[in-house]
Structure 1
Amino acid sequence: MLILALDTASLVSSVALAKPGRLLAEITLQTRKTHSERLMPHIEQLLALADTDKTAIGAIAVSIGPGSFTGLRIGLATAKALAYALGTPIVGVPTLAALAFGCPVPGAILAPTMDAQKGNIYIALYRWQDGVLDEVKPPAVMPHAAAAALLAARPEPALVLGEAAELYPDTFRQAAVALAEPHVAMPRAGSVAMLGAGLLAAGERHDVMAVEPLYIRRSEAEELWEKRHGCQR
C-alpha cells in the first residue's frame, strides 16, 4: 500500500510517500510561506519525484496535533479532501508521537514539544521499549518552566524535541535537561507515514468526515470572544 503522509502542525511543511517499512520520498521545508501556498505543489512534486501519480495512493496519514491551529486546519482539510476524492482510508497521527518516533533513543524519556503561545508548550512523554514507542504521559499544555521541572524530577534522562528546544533552551539547560539537535527535533511526514502504516495494519481507520484536529486548548480567538462576551466554560 502506498501511503501519502502530511505534517503541517508547525512552521515546517512536510509531505512523504511510503510503503509499510519503507520511506520512498519526502519533502520537508521551513519557509515564511504559508502551508496553503506550498502544500499542494509539494504533493505534486513528491508524486513526480516518486515517479507515480495520485491514483496509486492507497491511504493517507496526517498529523492531527497539537500544534499550530492554522497549520492543522490546512493539513487536515487537504488530507480529508484527498481521501474523499480518491476513496482512500485516512488515519490521524498525533503530532507529538510522530516527533518522538523520529528519535529512536532507548533508555531515555523523549519529550516532544510544540509551541502553545504565551510561554506555554504542548508536551507529551514517550519511551522506546523493545523497539516499540510507548506513551508515558499523554499530550498536555503547560508553562515551559513547569515542563522543565517535570522532566528534571524524573529518574531517567530526558531529551526535549521540537519547538520548545528552540524557544526556551536556557530553561531546560538550567534544569539539566538535554535538548535535541534541530535536525532531529524537526517534524517529518516520514514519521507520520510510518506510524500511520502501523495504525492501518492494526485495522484503524478514521471517518473522513469526522476526524478532527487534536487542539488540547482553545484558540486565542475563542478565548478573546468569550472574554468580550462574558462567557465561561
Structure 2
Amino acid sequence: MPILAMDTATMVSSVAVADNKKLLAELIVENKLTHSETLLPHVEQVLNMAGTKKEDLEAVAVSIGPGSFTGLRIGLAAAKAIAYGLNIPIIGIPTMEGLAWHYPVPGIRVAGFIDAQKGNVYTAHYKWNGSDFDEVKSIEVVALEDAIKICSELDGPVVAVGDMVSKKMTKLDNLPENLIIPPKHTMMPRAANIAMAGLKKLAAGQVGSVMDMEPIYIRKSEAEVLWEKRQSKLTSSVSQSADTFPGGEGKGSIK
C-alpha cells in the first residue's frame, strides 16, 4: 500500500506518492506562491497522477524541520489533518535526513546546509549504513563559514545539500577540496526522499502521534525574538515608572 509524502521546509513545495516497489508520482514546485495556496491542490493532483485513492494510503510522511517556520507549520498541519481524517499513521522525517536520501552511497558523508537567516545555517551530517542513514553529527545552528570549516576538517568526501548551497555556497571561492557541490536538482528537498525515509520508518514501526508531533525548530522565530525584545522593554519601562511615581515600590514611592 502506498504512502503520501510532503516537504514544505523551504521555498520548494513537493508532494509524492510511493510504495515499497517504486515512486508512483511526484510534484516539485519552486515559485512565489505560498505553500498554503499550493499544497492541498498538489496533494490531490499527485494522488490522481499515481492512480491512488486517498482511502488506499497507508501513512503520511512529512518533513518536520528545521527550515522555514511557516512552511513547516503548513506542511505538518496538512499531514496531521490527512492522517487524522483517514485514521492512518503519521511519520515525521527531519528535513536534513530527507536531503541525505539524495545520496544513499557508502563512503561519503552528506552535510545539510539549510538557511537559518542572518548568515547562519542549520546543519547536520549523515552516512549511509547500507540500508538507512545514520546521523553522525546532530542538528545545530552555526555560522555558514563555521559549517564549511567543520567539513574541511573531515577525512573523505562530503556532499553539501540544502538551500544555502545554491543561495550562497556556489558563489564562494576557495571551498574545501573535499566538499562536493552537486547539481541543484540533487541538493534541494524533494518529497520522494521523504517517502523513502518514511517507508523505512513505517516498516520499523517508527510512527508518530497526530496529537503530539511538533516541528523541529532549533531556534526561535524572528517574531518570537522581536516579541521578547518588546516585552523586555515594556517590563523595563514599567519598572522605571514604579521608581518614579508616588505609590510605587521604588525610590520615588511614598510610605
Give distance in 1, aligned partners of 2:151 and 2:202.
32
Name the CA distance, whole Å, in 2 between partners of 1:209 and 1:61: 15
Query: 2:9 is paired with a residue of what secondary structure?
Result: coil
Match of 1:168 in 2: 168
1:172–1:178 contact (8 Å) kept in structure 2: no
Corresponding residue number in structure 2 for 1:87: 87
Distance 1:191 1:173 in 2: 30
Match of 1:24 in 2: 24
**1:123 alignment partner in structure 2:** 123
**Deviation by residue 1:107-140 (Cα, 9 ceiling, x = unmatched):** 2211022110000011110112334322110111
- Higher mean C-alpha displacement, 194-203 vs 47-56: 47-56
Secondary structure in structure 2 of the residue aligned to 1:104: coil
The one-letter code of the counterpart of 2:201 is L
The aligned counterpart of 1:96 is 96
What does residue range 182-201 of structure 1 map to in structure 2 within 5 Å? 182-201=184-203
- Equivalences, count: 231
Corresponding residue of 1:218? 220
Work out the CA distance in 1 between the residues paired with 2:39 and 2:195.
16
Q: What is the letter of the counterpart of residue 231 of structure 2?
A: H
1:22-63 deviation digits (Å, cap 9, x = unpaired): 211111111110001110111111111112221111110000
Whichever residue aligns with residue 219 of structure 1, its letter is S
Structure possessing the higher relative contact order (Cα contacts under 8 Å, 6 or more residues apart): 1
- Most deviating of 159-168 and 86-95: 159-168
Task: State the match for 1:180 in structure 2.
Answer: 182
Please, which runs of 5 or more residues in structure 2 have no aligned partner? 234-255
Alpha-carbon distance change, 43 to 178 in structure 1, aligned in 2, over 3 angstroms:
same
Deviation above 6 Å: which 4+ runs of structure 1?
A: none
Supply the distance in 2 between the matched residues of 1:134 and 1:180 (Cα, whole angstroms): 21
**Alignment pair present for 1:61 and 2:57:** no
In the TM superposition, what whole-angstrom CA distance separates every residue of 1:159-200 from its partner, at most 9, and x where no partner exists? 111112112224474333221210101111111011111111
What secondary structure is seen at the aligned counterpart in 1 of 2:59?
strand
- Quick one: which amino acid aligns to residue 181 of structure 1? P
Q: 3-state DSSP class of the match of 1:204?
A: coil
Superposed CA deviations along residues 5-30 of structure 1, whole A, max 9, x for unmatched, are 01000000000001124211111111
Secondary structure at 1:221 match in 2: helix
How high is the sequence identity, in percent, across the aligned residues? 48
Quickly say closer, same or farther: Cα 1:205–1:129, change in 2 above 3 A: closer
d(CA) in 2 for partners of 1:167 and 1:188? 17
Return the alpha-carbon distance in structure 2 between the equivalents of residues 55 and 28 of structure 1.
23
Q: How does 1:45-60 map to 2 (within 5 A)?
A: 45-60=45-60
Select the structure of larger CA radius of gyration.
Answer: 2
**In 2, distance between residues paired with 1:173 and 1:43?**
42
In structure 2, give the amino acid aligned to 1:208: V
Gaps of 5+ in 1: none
Q: Which of the pair is proportionally richer in strand?
A: 1
Letter in 1 for 2:214: E
Q: Conserved in 2, the CA contact under 8 Å of 1:69 and 1:219? A: yes
Please say which of residues 77-86 and 106-115 is displaced more in the overlay: 106-115
1:229 aligns with 2:226: no
Letter of the 2:7 partner, please give it.
D
Stretch of structure 1 that moved more, 169-178 or 97-106? 169-178
